[in-house]
Amino acid sequence: MSKLAQVFLIGALIRFIIPSSIPSITTILSSTVELSTPINSFKSLLESFYYLNHDINLYDGGVNHNPPLLVSILSIIYNLPYSNILFNALYTVIDLFIAYRLILINRWYNNYQTRKLGEKKTGFNDDLIASFYLFNPLIVLANLSHSTTIFSWLFTIESIYQIISGNSPRGMIALSISSYLSYYPLYLLPSILSLSHILSKERNLSKSLVFGGCIFLMSLTLLLMVSVVITSSFQFIDHCYFTILCLKKITPNVGLWWYLFTEMFEFFTPFYLGMFNLYSFIFIIPITLRLFEFKQTPKLGDSFLAIILSYIWISFTKTYPTIGDLGLALSLIPIISSTVLKYCKMMYITGITLIISLLLSPIFYYCWIVLGNGNSNFFYSINLIWGAVQVMIMMDLVWGKLIMDYSIENNIKSNEIGKLNLAQI
Amino acid sequence: MALAETVYRKINKLGIIPKLIHLLPKLSFIFAALSVAWLCYLPLDGNYRNVYISENALMPAQVTSYFRESEWNVVRGYREEFGKLENLSLNERNSMVESWLKDLNLQVSYHNNQTLYSIMHAPRGENTEAMALVVPWFNSDKEYNEGALSLALALIRYFNKMSIWSKNIILIFPENSGKVLRSWVEAYHTTLDETAGSIEAAIIMEYGKQGDYFNYYQMFYEGLNGQLPNLDLLNTANLISSHEGISKSIQGYKDNLMNFNTRLNTLFKGILKLSLTGLTNDLYGCEAFSGWQIQAFTIKAVGSAGHDVTQFGRIVDSTFRSVNNLLEKFHQSFFFYLMLSPKNFVSIGTYLPSAVLLAVSFALSSLSSILNNIKVEMIFDNLTFFLNIIAFVEIGCLIIAFTLPNTQFFEIGMSLLGVISLLPNFEFKNNQFSFALISISLFFISLLITALLIVHFSLAFIIGLLGFPLTFIPTLLKQRKVKIAKLISIISNPFFIIYIGSRYLEHPEIYSKLLTSWNDLQCWTWFIVMLGWFPSWILITISIIGYKEVDEIKKDI
């Protein structure tokens, strides 16, 4: 059996055998604050199946925050016999599919960079890329907790894949499904549009932006309209999107929002909601623009890196993040190993910070909630470190990209750049 | 950026980084020494703080307690009766107490047909909060707890007459302060039918057969798994007793003579005690309440002259009156502290650097083991090998941790493991493997200390200190002193250390308790040792065995 097949097999077994033989593991993990938020918890999805089967309005009681189409499609599985096992199988298949897409994206990226830069770029093997996704503990935990974010990941990755395989309309449709499922992938639109423009034969920027944007908007509208039709109300917009935008359910998670909005006087809440939302979107634009592959300097941009950076920025600033969000980013980063990653220099420090924050986060939560001898500051301090980890990763990637650009502009060979001791560009 | 750039260039120019890497073993030692020095520095004047009441609602010693000489006769009367019960069986004693409590119009319930408890419902409360007064039949010295039993009955009789209570009062008579009490507390939160709401505070009374008078009291407050009661509660009781003119002792040091030495000893005895709570036979009852957000302490009367027994009762009465004032749970003041005397303490912010330094020290020597001996890439090239061996050891330890029978054979076997494990003879492909494995293990210990840093400082500090000799091993191996490395490995076997330590501390039961304390008391020290400390030791020992003495050090690093 080839190495790749082994990786897929073991990855599948972990995801299928563990929750099938120990069903309580899903229940336990889906109650863990680091993995589950009111928006993506599997428990609330199960609750909404119950509502659906008993003809109760899906959004009564404010438990369900999943869009109606997701609930109704998944309820087909729920109503089959052995639905637990089937769900395990579904989550396994989705993860394997994402891993497979990542392999294809990795192959494309290295080919594309080789063509663009005119020198051979070889990244990681297929089996390594698959392992980085399938054996990433954060991804495994997110999968075992049956977080519904995974559906959104699926379509985000699928969207990137469709774009790079030259089918930008399909990519836009996939992205619109992804945004429909969890709102935040919407912010990936600028960087994905720019990638699609670079790869398409269309030379007119505004034309391809309008084309892609229209397809995105139309399919998103279609999805929303279908949802209105099947629920016969607009209630889901409030519960699926405004809850996310306005942090209507303030519960602890690994993000940066909840603590501030708990501590804040209510008087200030609208202002800071506006600021925070603006903040989480506005940085997407400069990231995309800076890394856009302009006609004059095609070698200097990297729209795929822009997607990764935007994604990390979103997982840093989103209202209800989980550790799985960073997990996906960490699985995407190995793809750029042949270009940007080898210029990064903070990886060890970031890695250790990541390990320590992952270690202390559940302990501090336990001190706060169970033992009662800690308080929310304990847990939030680790959230801040968690945020710092993401910022460090972004800084490192941007630094790596700048050094790489510098070496391309000045024709410095990659093995000589280390001797320069660059401290500033 | 200009400053950062200047610094960065300077560092490169002077070659500070290679020099630092070379110095890492020494730095690691200095950090560990600083860690201990930091703790020793705390008892100096100016480094510790005086205790104070943080929660205004408590208002300790602000009310006049009426539990005075008039109640003394009641106490005497009950003591006379309790004296007759000493040699009866538990059921007979319980039924006697039951009849007395029923005379006071109190309902009586049983847990497992053995632990009697009675709830005095608060006349003014909402029946959602409670305070617990625990009187074990036999105290921590295995002495018949006559004084405390009679005091408890007199107190509940006195409480029952007052209309000021807003929190229920639960009176509990366990056979002793050990497993029985722990199981009562657990049952109270899970299965018992008769409950009185969440317990805010619990006081365990110990007053043996010394009669009407006592000299001072000892206070015990260490909980399981590094938990401590809120400092406000201890301060409340201590402040009240100060108003009564009663002196008290913590860790065996009385408050009337305090100097650097007593503070230092109190500090270190406190750390040792906290890390051994639940592992020795000394159970005072306060640890039974750990994990349920209940603040608990034990007071034990010592001596037979000086203050009268009602003064002891007034400490309880007045403390309950203070707790009764609370509108919220205990949340002010400190949950993480180290006492230096009944009147002085250091809070977490002050003592934490000590454990952080220790964790850093392990991390530095882990770094040193890699940077001074091998190429970092080598670890990634052989990642599968390392992951396999670590997973194998860790899973092995996990299996042992859960299945191990409690036998005497085990005790000696595990200690001898240090010697036996160095007998087999195998060699790694090259010596880099040894250094890499040692580095991973030391990093693992560093993470273990970091994880325990807040939640169980004492255990983190003690494991760090006892495991510290392991950090010398990479340097010794590099200098080809393999025999000394082996010796260090033998004496730093966790079980060997625990064996010697338990004999030295005259608590030989630590060993067997370590195994049983999870089931009896939910004390997780066993798992920390078995899944954190021991696997690291095994990995380091494996790397010493696999080290080739004749191998030439490759100079290409």
Q: In this predicted structure, what is the pLDDT of residue B546?
A: 85
Helix, strand, coil content of chain B in percent (nearest 5): 55, 15, 30
Cβ-contact B462, B275 below 8 angstroms: yes
Residue B554 is classified by DSSP as P
Q: CB-side exposure of A102: number of CA atoms within 13 Å?
A: 32
- Which of residues 499 through 538 in chain B touch A, CB cutoff 8 A? none
Nearest C-alpha of chain B: how many angstroms from A305? 25
Mean pLDDT of all residues belonging to chain B: 90
Token pair for B21:
């890497």
B4 contacts in A (CB within 8 Å)?
A: 423-424
pLDDT band at B124, cuts 50/70/90?
Answer: confident
Q: In this predicted structure, what is the pLDDT of residue B190?
A: 93
Nearest one of B382, B522, B358, B532 to B445, comparing CA atoms: B532
**pLDDT tens, B311-342?**
999 999 999 999 999 999 998 899 999 999 99
Nearest C-alpha of chain A: how many angstroms from B335? 5
**pLDDT tens, A11-25?**
999 999 999 999 999
| Bridging pattern class, strands B344-347 and B337-341 | antiparallel
Sign of the Cα pseudo-torsion (B383, B388, B391, B393, in order): negative
Nearest one of B226, B275, B270 to B249, comparing CA atoms: B270
Residue in chain A closest to B2 (alpha carbons) equals A424
Inter-chain CB pairs, A–B, below 8 Å: 44
Q: Can you tell me the distance from the alpha carbon of A256 to that of A275, in angstroms, rounded to the nearest whole number? A: 13
B5 close contact with A: CB closer than 8 A: yes
pLDDT band at B11, cuts 50/70/90?
Answer: confident
B375 contacts in A (CB within 8 Å)?
A: none
**Ramachandran sector of residue A118 (left: φ over 0; alpha: ψ -120 to 50; beta: rest):** left
Nearest one of B218, B205, B168, B184 to B323, comparing CA atoms: B168
| pLDDT reading at A221 higher than 70 | yes
- Which of residues 309 through 368 in chain A touch B, CB cutoff 8 A? 355-356, 359-360, 363-364, 366-367
Nearest C-alpha of chain B: how many angstroms from A424? 7
Q: A359 vs B228: CB contact, 8 Å cut-off?
A: no
Q: In this predicted structure, what is the pLDDT of residue B409?
A: 64
Q: In this predicted structure, what is the pLDDT of residue A205?
A: 86
| pLDDT reading at B429 higher than 80 | no
What is each CA distance from B428 to A360, B153, B388, B476, in whole angstroms? Answer: 35, 70, 15, 18
Domain ranges of chain B: 2-22+349-545, 50-342
Q: Can you tell me the distance from the alpha carbon of B270 to that of B461, in angstroms, rounded to the nearest whole number? A: 12
Provide the 3-class DSSP secondary structure of residue B254.
strand
Q: B451 vs A370: CB contact, 8 Å cut-off?
A: no
Q: In this predicted structure, what is the pLDDT of residue B556?
A: 44
Q: Can you tell me the distance from the alpha carbon of B93 to that of B251, in angstroms, rounded to the nearest whole number? A: 33
| pLDDT reading at B545 higher than 70 | yes
Average pLDDT over residues B423-447: 86
Residue B249, φ and ψ in degrees, nearest 5: -135, 145
Which residue bears the tokens 């060993």?
Answer: B511
| pLDDT reading at A78 higher than 80 | yes
Average pLDDT over residues B172-182: 93
| pLDDT reading at B553 higher than 60 | no
| pLDDT reading at B554 higher than 70 | no
Nearest one of B162, B127, B107 to B320, comparing CA atoms: B162
Partner residue opposite A359 with nearest CB, options B291, B329, B447: B447
Nearest one of B462, B439, B438, B443 to B452, comparing CA atoms: B462
Residue B257's CB is within 10 A of a number of other CB atoms, namely 10
Q: With 0-12 CB in 10 A as exposed, 13-18 as middle and 19+ as buried, what is B318?
A: buried
Token pair for B371:
């940077």
Which residue bears the tokens 């429909």?
Answer: A180
Provide the 3-class DSSP secondary structure of residue B247.
strand
| DSSP per-residue codes, B446-503 | HHHHHHHHHHTHHHHHHHHHHTGGGGGHHHHHHTT-HHHHHHHHHHT-HHHHHHHHHH
B451 contacts in A (CB within 8 Å)?
A: 359-360, 363
Partner residue opposite B447 with nearest CB, options A355, A373, A421: A355
| pLDDT reading at A215 higher than 90 | yes
Q: Show Cβ contacts of residue B517 under 8 Å, excluding neighbours closer than 6 positions.
A: B278, B279, B523, B525, B526
| pLDDT reading at A112 higher than 60 | yes
Residue type, B4: A
Q: Can you tell me the distance from the alpha carbon of A247 to that of A179, in angstroms, rounded to the nearest whole number? A: 17
**pLDDT tens, B463-513?**
999 999 999 999 998 888 888 998 998 889 898 898 889 889 988 888 888
Q: In this predicted structure, what is the pLDDT of residue B557?
A: 42
Nearest one of B213, B511, B512, B538 to B395, comparing CA atoms: B538
Provide the 3-class DSSP secondary structure of residue B123.
coil
Average pLDDT over residues B176-203: 93
Q: Show Cβ contacts of residue A55 under 8 Å, excluding neighbours closer than 6 positions.
A: none
Q: Show Cβ contacts of residue B11 under 8 Å, excluding neighbours closer than 6 positions.
A: B17
Q: In this predicted structure, what is the pLDDT of residue A298?
A: 80
Nearest C-alpha of chain B: how many angstroms from A159? 32
- Mapping DSSP onto H, E and C, the string for A231-248 reads HCCCHHHHHHHHHHHCCC
Average pLDDT over residues A231-253: 92
Token pair for B443:
């990093």
Long-range contacts of A41-45 (CB under 8 A, 24+ apart): A41/A147, A41/A148, A42/A145, A42/A146, A42/A147, A42/A148, A45/A71, A45/A74, A45/A146, A45/A148
| Bridging pattern class, strands B213-220 and B295-308 | antiparallel
Average pLDDT over residues A281-289: 94
| pLDDT reading at A32 higher than 70 | yes
Least confident of A421-425, B161-165, B495-499: A421-425
Least confident of A321-335, A353-367, B276-290, B407-421: B407-421
Q: Can you tell me the distance from the alpha carbon of A306 to that of A310, in angstroms, rounded to the nearest whole number? A: 6
Q: A363 vs B451: CB contact, 8 Å cut-off?
A: yes
| pLDDT reading at B57 higher than 70 | yes
Q: Can you tell me the distance from the alpha carbon of B322 to that of B332, in angstroms, rounded to the nearest whole number? A: 14
Q: State the helix-helix crossing angle for B534-545 and B383-403, rounded to 10 degrees.
A: 130
Q: In this predicted structure, what is the pLDDT of residue B415?
A: 67
| pLDDT reading at A414 higher than 80 | no
Domain ranges of chain A: 3-339
pLDDT > 70 fraction of chain A, expressed in percent and rounded: 99
Average pLDDT over residues A282-288: 94
Which residue bears the tokens 């009675």?
Answer: B118
| pLDDT reading at B50 higher than 70 | yes
Q: What is the dihedral of CA B470, B473, B475, B481, to 10 degrees?
A: 150
CA angle A340-A341-A346, nearest 5°? 120
End-to-end CA distance of chain B: give it in Å, rounded.
32
Strand partners, B341: B344
pLDDT band at A72, cuts 50/70/90?
Answer: very high
Mean pLDDT of all residues belonging to chain A: 92
Q: Can you tell me the distance from the alpha carbon of B17 to that of A41, in angstroms, rounded to the nearest whole number? A: 47
B10 close contact with A: CB closer than 8 A: no
Q: In this predicted structure, what is the pLDDT of residue B408?
A: 60
The highest-confidence range among A196-200, A418-422, B271-275, by mean pLDDT, is B271-275
A374 close contact with B: CB closer than 8 A: yes
CA B220 to chain centre: 11
Residue in chain A closest to B454 (alpha carbons) equals A364
Q: Can you tell me the distance from the alpha carbon of B253 to that of B283, in angstroms, rounded to the nearest whole number? A: 19
A118 or A180, higher pLDDT: A180
Mutate to test the interface with A, among B454, B459, B522, B527 (most CBs of A within 10 A): B454
Provide the 3-class DSSP secondary structure of residue A422.
coil
- Which of residues 390 through 449 in chain B touch A, CB cutoff 8 A? 447
Residue B553 is classified by DSSP as P
Q: In this predicted structure, what is the pLDDT of residue B412?
A: 66
| pLDDT reading at B549 higher than 90 | no
CA B355 to chain centre: 15
Partner residue opposite A367 with nearest CB, options B9, B230, B455: B455
Q: Can you tell me the distance from the alpha carbon of B474 to that of A158, in angstroms, rounded to the nearest whole number? A: 49
Give me the helices (H) in B42-106, please: 69-85, 90-103
Average pLDDT over residues A166-185: 94
Token pair for A75:
């309820």
Cβ-contact A358, A387 below 8 angstroms: no
B331 close contact with A: CB closer than 8 A: yes
Mutate to test the interface with B, among A356, A373, A395 (most CBs of B within 10 A): A373
Q: In this predicted structure, what is the pLDDT of residue B284?
A: 93
Token pair for A138:
């954060």
B198 close contact with A: CB closer than 8 A: no
pLDDT band at B555, cuts 50/70/90?
Answer: very low
Residue A294, φ and ψ in degrees, nearest 5: -70, 155
Look up the CATH number of domain B50-342: 3.40.630.10
pLDDT > 90 fraction of chain B, expressed in percent and rounded: 64
Q: Can you tell me the distance from the alpha carbon of B18 to that of B38, in angstroms, rounded to the nearest whole number? A: 28
pLDDT band at B407, cuts 50/70/90?
Answer: low
Q: In this predicted structure, what is the pLDDT of residue B406?
A: 59
Q: In this predicted structure, what is the pLDDT of residue B551?
A: 52
Q: B454 vs A367: CB contact, 8 Å cut-off?
A: yes
